[in-house]
Amino acid sequence: MIDLDFLSNDYQDNRPVAQKVAESIAIDILTGTLRPGQRISERVLCDKYALSRTPIREILNQLSSTGLVTLIPNRGAFVTGITERDIDDYFYMKNLLYPQCVKWAIERITAEEMSALEETFAFMEFYTATEDLEKMKKINHGFEAIIYNASHNPELERTLLRYDFLILYANKDIGYPLNYLPTVLEEHRAIFRAFQEKNTDAGAEAAQIHAYKSMMRRK
């Protein structure tokens, strides 16, 4: 099961039931089971998940803050439509934000965060060598999440995590083909090296390249 902790606005909120329900609804929306514009009845969700309206409404509020659901006063919750162009926009936004994020992270990263990054990168090398695609998907995400966090800009972190989430589920199959793994590793290595050398410009450039190539790989 993929970890969706970042769906909750604060990672410390580990209420498992609400978490799983929010995750389930989010996936239903992003995979099209719930169609754009469709009304989401509180009662139906209550029945489906055996919860009362109070927690269901809190979950809908959470989803509304991620943009997956639109709340209209006195009328209820509606599935927000996400078009192909929206996805393009998310990629473009990441292009814009990720280099800046890397810049800040290089300036601000702590010793603990740096060693976590080192450890994660070592695993990336290992999983690339062993061609473990499943593990790579997770560790790629983890590598970037550490960088987001190291920027010490919570708003930026939250924003980038949200884009990753939306991109992940809107593109159902995210997995790069196996032969892309070494390429991706080298892109990440360039970023990682910039961290070791504390070279913000090199980091931003490497991040730019990685984000751009990720976007291109999608098409």
**Residues in the site for DNA, rule: CB under 7 A?**
15, 17-18, 39-43, 50-55, 57-58, 71, 73-77
CA atoms within 13 A on the CB side of 181: 19
Q: Which stretch binds a second copy (CB under 8 A): 42-50, 141-149, 151-159, 190-198?
A: 151-159
Pick the closer one to a second copy by CB: 13 or 197. Answer: 13
Our finding on whether 149 is near a second copy (CB under 8 A) is no
Q: What would the 3-class secondary structure string for the chain be?
A: CCCCHHHCCCCCCCCHHHHHHHHHHHHHHHCCCCCCCCEECHHHHHHHHCCCHHHHHHHHHHHHHHCCEEEECCCEEEECCCCHHHHHHHHHHHHHHHHHHHHHHHHHCCHHHHHHHHHHHHHHHHHHHCCCHHHHHHHHHHHHHHHHHHCCCHHHHHHHHHHHHHHHHHCCCCCCCHHHHHHHHHHHHHHHHHHHHCCHHHHHHHHHHHHHHHHHHHC
Residues from 57 through 116 that contact a second copy (CB under 8 A):
57-58, 61-62, 64-65, 67, 70-73, 80, 86, 89-90, 92-93, 96-97, 100, 104
- Candidate list 154, 171, 175, 198; residue touching a second copy; CB under 8 A: 154
From the list DNA, a second copy, none, pick the one residue 51 interacts with, judged by a Cβ distance below 5 to 8 Å according to partner type: DNA
Q: What are phi and psi of 61, to 5 degrees?
A: -65, -45
From the list DNA, a second copy, none, pick the one residue 12 interacts with, judged by a Cβ distance below 5 to 8 Å according to partner type: a second copy
Pick the closer one to a second copy by CB: 10 or 119. Answer: 10
What's the closest the beta carbon of residue 56 comes to DNA, in angstroms? 8
What's the closest the beta carbon of residue 23 comes to DNA, in angstroms? 15
From the list DNA, a second copy, none, pick the one residue 41 interacts with, judged by a Cβ distance below 5 to 8 Å according to partner type: DNA
Which positions lie near a second copy, rule CB under 8 A? 9-10, 12-15, 54, 57-58, 61-62, 64-65, 67, 70-73, 80, 86, 89-90, 92-93, 96-97, 100, 104, 153-156, 158-159, 162-163, 166
